[in-house]
Amino acid sequence: MKLTQIFKAFKWSFLLTSSLILLESAANLLFPLFIGYAIDDAIAGSYQGSMQLGILGVAILVVGASRRLFDSRFYSKVLLASGTTVISKIEKELSSIKTARLGMIREMIEFMENALPELVNNLIGLIGVVLIIATLNLKVFLGCLSASLVIGIIYMISSSTIFRFNKAYNDEIEKQVNIINTNSSQALSSHLHRMMKWNIKLSDLETLNFSISWMVLMVFLVLSIMVSVGDGIVQYGAIFALIMYVFQYMESIVSLPLYYQQWLRLQEIKARLR
């Protein structure tokens, strides 16, 4: 079953969970701004900002809990439908391949249930944060764009290598059941060694990319603090809100490449399932 067929079969459920994800993401985007309002109101002797912040927090809880309760039931149906369809099309394949591909289907469904909402939240948060930063400080906004460009280039350069490592890793997974059935400790040891080799290669590449990206972001953070203070912002709430948005930007941009790596892995799985 292709992803497009899954979306068509469950289009209304996908629409509902997508709407809840967007609503939750938009509410999360307002958090630093409401914290800044609460600080300024508290300094002025008013607690109106704090009350608004509390209401926002409760609203995020209600929307988030409702989505998670719905998703656990919805994606169980998706896994059942897609799993039986795919396995029925490869009846003549070895049990090792069937078992491996069923696990890959589960991995794709788990990505849609768990990682996709976080990815959408990060994307919306990133775009919203960058636009808000643009209204607060133009220099910091230009810094955001520069850091994003550098990090994007880093991961684009390594994309083909990530795809190749995942292909080799999945090739080993498809052999696993048959190797276990041989009852050969030497064959099993060699198989696990090869799996760990590709897993380590993926991990090392991820560590290298993350480390370079983190150094870029730390330079950006230090310069953002220097620029925001140097530009003469006098309201403590405004300075705090700007730095909070810079932190939120950093959290979003540093996690996006991890989702990109997952997406590359799913592209390899999709090609294999076809």
- pLDDT tens column, 135-188: 888 888 898 899 999 998 988 898 889 888 888 888 887 787 778 777 777 887
Enter the tokens of residue 64: 């988030």
Q: Average pLDDT for residues 215-238, to the nearest whole number? A: 75
What residues have CB less than 8 Å from 31, skipping those under 6 apart? Answer: 56
CB neighbours (10 Å) of residue 69?
10
pLDDT of residue 109: 79
| Fold that domain 3-273 belongs to in CATH | ABC transporter transmembrane region fold (1.20.1560)
133 or 274: which carries more pLDDT confidence?
A: 133
pLDDT of residue 79: 73
103 or 17: which carries more pLDDT confidence?
A: 17
For the chain, the domains span 3-273
Nearest-angstrom CA–CA distance, 8 and 168: 32
Over residues 61-81, the pLDDT tens digits come to: 888 888 888 888 887 787 777
**Residue that is written with structure tokens 């409760």 in the block:** 58
pLDDT of residue 253: 86
pLDDT of residue 94: 65
pLDDT of residue 150: 92
What residues have CB less than 8 Å from 210, skipping those under 6 apart? Answer: 254, 257
Asked whether residue 232 carries a pLDDT value surpassing 60, the answer given is no
pLDDT of residue 108: 78
Residue 45 to residues 32, 40, 50, 217, 259, Cα–Cα distance (Å):
20, 9, 11, 36, 44
Model confidence band, residue 190 (pLDDT cutoffs 50, 70, 90): confident
Mean pLDDT score across all residues of the chain: 81
**SS3 at position 245:** helix
Q: Average pLDDT for residues 120-129, to the nearest whole number? A: 80
